[in-house]
Amino acid sequence: MAEVTHDFSKTKRTYAKVGIALGIFTIITVALGLFPPLDVGPPGPTPGDFLIGLSVATCKASLVALIFMHLNHERGLIYKLMLFTSILAFCLIVVTLFAGFDPIVEQYETLKTTGGWLLKLRPQ
Amino acid sequence: MEIPYEVTPRRDTGLYNAKLGVWLFLASEVMLFGGLFSAYVFLRLGVQDGVDNPWPWGVSVHKNFVWLGAINTVVLIASSVGVVFAWVSVKERKWRNYQLWMYFVVACAAVFMCIKMVEYNSKLNHHHGIKLVDNSVMEGVIIDDTDKIRFSGEKVTFGLHSALPAVLRDLDDGEFPVFKVIDGPEETIGTELASESAFKSWFHENRRTFKKNLAEARKRYRAELAEGATPAPIEVKGTATVEASAPFSLHGDPRKILAHSDTTMNYRDGVKIEGKLISDDVIFEVHEVDMQLVLPQDQRESVVWEVISDDSAKQSFFTQQSKNYQEMAAYYEKRGEVIPEKMIRGRFLNVYYVHVPAEGSEGGEGHGEESDKHAAVHTSETNPAAGATGGEGHHGPSRHLVVPREQVKFMGNHGPRYGNYYAIYFTMTALHGIHVVGGALVLLYMVVFGKKLYLKNPEHLANRVEVGGLFWHFVDLIWIFLFPLMYLL
């Protein structure tokens, strides 16, 4: 059996720290979702909430990818492969956004009337 | 046969082969989940509040599930940490530690799947919704399978040319009625069919005879036609009627039924039941009213209030709405803007908990143990609207509402067909769940059957654990995005 060639105590400490950091990020994610004071913009989910929620998720994902998946010190080939994949995945998401390009929808937007019946919602 | 570059890296790639392989696999996985995330974005952006299928927004849908999702996140993170520690243990040549960490990871996977099952079970079996004819939605629980049409049957008429009548599956459990053939193939009239198997064998036999007779009659018809004569019409009896010795009760599945009246029920497969309608009302316990699809000016006259017929419940809904409206109006007024229609029609102003207290004694009216059970389900839920209604969050049992079937536009559990949200939720979480199970099985294999390889070449095992771990971390990564997208945002 080959002998141990490396001291892993530092690596283990890093892994433990990352685990704790991920736990903390999870708490932040839940807090952002559950506590109204942490909401951005008008009450209810808004693009701002999405941005913040997904940023936290991206931080977590980066930690997992960089430390646990060893992407912080990996061979060039893997980086090239992942770059290629990310470009394709990005296109995949973006391509759905083109679904919104429909002139008829614009017509609908202009027909919206907000004035009249808004008043009826006021407390009676 | 020796497989090259299992342990040592290849010079041109700088990697051992398994690692390059697993990264290529992960690249394809990114595209697989990417497609589904893309579908999520498409569905989510496509939601036009008040116009389209409303997206269950935020916590009101997931009142009980956010914490389950959060626990699952922590469980997966713990398992990810476990995998890297297992890998380090092999590198340090500590077999015992390796075993412990790997079993820990597999246990985490099991816990994850169990929690998932609790969630799925709750959505599929304990959360129902009814969309009424004016598009107002009640969420709660359908009591005692009353989505089915209760009917007391006497006669069944069916065709002998197709599959077994679907009605057989809707018969109430227990005794199969004794049927007597009163119309159909002449030689069998008067036959008594006392059991399901007797009925089935009688049906199959007569279907065969019918098909044979029909084929012969057609042959005769064509032959006569060829001879230039005017052929006599084909007369082969293809239907049969059986009568039960005593009325039998059945729960008709509305999806299989074309129409029903007080005396007959017509199945989509052509079977007709004659007898007496017991009831087709849906008994429902309402927990939440969703008005996203009803115009604000019509909300006070909505059908849902007729069905609920409880003024305090209605009042509590609109009190809460006014409160939230003021909050929102204040926000926009400060900015000198008008509240956008999207917000007016959205979840924040139109979905609230509603409690309809049971009349008189506890346990509703005459549903016995069942109603007690469901009442318990209800009271165990937290109720954010409690402040508005003046309650303490724990109400008494809910009244079982009678919802006339003609007021129901759609009803179902919170399964994939309940709406776009549930469709994408189940697709993505189930696919992710399959990945969890697959990954856990691979890791389990590595620890149960890994000793031999460990003794032969521990570095090889370490590499295996590393690539297995890479997959496992990827599964964790997917969940990191799924959790906020599905449960919180």
Using CB atoms, pick whichever of A29, A64, A114 lies closest to residue B80: A64
Lowest mean pLDDT among A96-110, B121-135, B322-336, B458-472: A96-110
Contact B469 A56 (CB under 8 A): no
To the nearest whole Å, the CA of B127 is away from the closest chain A CA by 21
Using CB atoms, pick whichever of B14, B84, B331 lies closest to residue A77: B14
Interface of B with A in 314-343 (CB under 8 A): 318, 321-322, 324-328, 331-332, 338-341, 343
Whether chain A has a CB inside 8 Å of the CB on B189: the answer is no
**Nearest one of B150, B179, B74 to B479, comparing CA atoms:** B74
Query: Which of B477, B482, B485 is the best residue to mutate to test the A interface, defined by the most A CB atoms within 10 Å of its own CB?
Result: B477
Confidence of residue A111 (pLDDT cuts 50, 70, 90): very low
* Amino acid B363: pLDDT: 40
Cα torsion through A13, A19, A20, A22, rounded to 10: 140
CA–CA separation, B365 and B356 (whole Å): 13
Using CB atoms, pick whichever of B30, B331, B455 lies closest to residue A85: B30
- pTM for the predicted model, two decimal places: 0.82
Q: Which residue has the tokens 């008189």?
A: B360
* Amino acid B371: pLDDT: 41
* Amino acid B383: pLDDT: 41
End-to-end CA distance of chain B: 53
To the nearest whole Å, the CA of A58 is away from the closest chain B CA by 8
- Whether B432 has a pLDDT exceeding 80, the answer reads yes
Confidence of residue B106 (pLDDT cuts 50, 70, 90): very high
Nearest residue of B to residue A98 by CA position?
B42
Nearest residue of B to residue A18 by CA position?
B81
User: Which residues of A are less than 8 Å from B41 in CB distance?
Assistant: 93, 96-97
Higher local confidence (pLDDT), A73 or B85: B85
User: Which residues of B are less than 8 Å from A123 in CB distance?
Assistant: 322, 325-326
Using CB atoms, pick whichever of A33, A44, A81 lies closest to residue B347: A44
The separation between CA B236 and the C-alpha centre of its own chain, rounded to angstroms, equals: 44
Higher local confidence (pLDDT), B242 or A4: B242
* Amino acid B360: pLDDT: 61
The separation between CA A35 and the C-alpha centre of its own chain, rounded to angstroms, equals: 18
Confidence of residue B53 (pLDDT cuts 50, 70, 90): low
* Amino acid B474: pLDDT: 97
* Amino acid B378: pLDDT: 38
CA–CA separation, B245 and B175 (whole Å): 12
Whether chain A has a CB inside 8 Å of the CB on B27: the answer is yes
User: Which residues of A are less than 8 Å from B318 in CB distance?
Assistant: 124
* Amino acid B73: pLDDT: 95
CA–CA separation, B435 and B30 (whole Å): 13
Please report which helix (H) or strand (E) contains residue B304, including its range: helix B303-308
- Whether B81 has a pLDDT exceeding 80, the answer reads yes
Residues linked to residue B150 through DSSP beta bridges, in sequence order: B251, B279
* Amino acid B176: pLDDT: 84
Supply the mean pLDDT for chain B.
86
- Mean pLDDT across the stretch A22-31? 92
Lowest mean pLDDT among A25-39, B88-102, B425-439: A25-39
* Amino acid B368: pLDDT: 41
Lowest mean pLDDT among A66-80, B37-51, B72-86, B371-385: B371-385
Contact B42 A22 (CB under 8 A): no
Phi-psi map region of B205: left, alpha, beta (phi>0 left; psi -120 to 50 alpha): alpha
- Whether B466 has a pLDDT exceeding 60, the answer reads yes
pLDDT in tens, B353-387: 888 988 764 443 444 444 443 433 333 333 443 33
- Mean pLDDT across the stretch B429-453? 96
**Nearest one of B93, B10, B111 to B465, comparing CA atoms:** B93
- Whether B332 has a pLDDT exceeding 90, the answer reads no
Please report which helix (H) or strand (E) contains residue B238, including its range: none
Type of residue at B367: H
Strand-by-strand arrangement of the B192-193 sheet: B192-193, B179-183, B239-252, B149-159, B272-279, B264-267, B257-260
Class of domain B27-127+418-488 as given by CATH: mainly alpha
Residue pair B280/B402 in contact (Cβ under 8 Å)? The answer is no
To the nearest whole Å, the CA of A17 is away from the closest chain B CA by 10
- Whether B139 has a pLDDT exceeding 60, the answer reads yes
Given the cut 0.90, state whether the ipTM is greater than it.
no
Residue pair B202/B178 in contact (Cβ under 8 Å)? The answer is no
Residues linked to residue B290 through DSSP beta bridges, in sequence order: B137, B351
- Whether B190 has a pLDDT exceeding 70, the answer reads yes
Confidence of residue A44 (pLDDT cuts 50, 70, 90): low
* Amino acid B362: pLDDT: 44
Contact B325 A117 (CB under 8 A): no
In B47-64, alpha helices (H): none
The separation between CA B216 and the C-alpha centre of its own chain, rounded to angstroms, equals: 48
Residue A60 burial (C-beta neighbours within 10 Å; 0-12, 13-18, 19+): buried
Lowest mean pLDDT among B35-39, B75-79, B359-363: B359-363
* Amino acid B366: pLDDT: 41
- Mean pLDDT across the stretch A50-76? 91
Type of residue at B366: G
Going from N- to C-terminal start, the domains of chain B cover 27-127+418-488, 137-144+284-413, 149-280
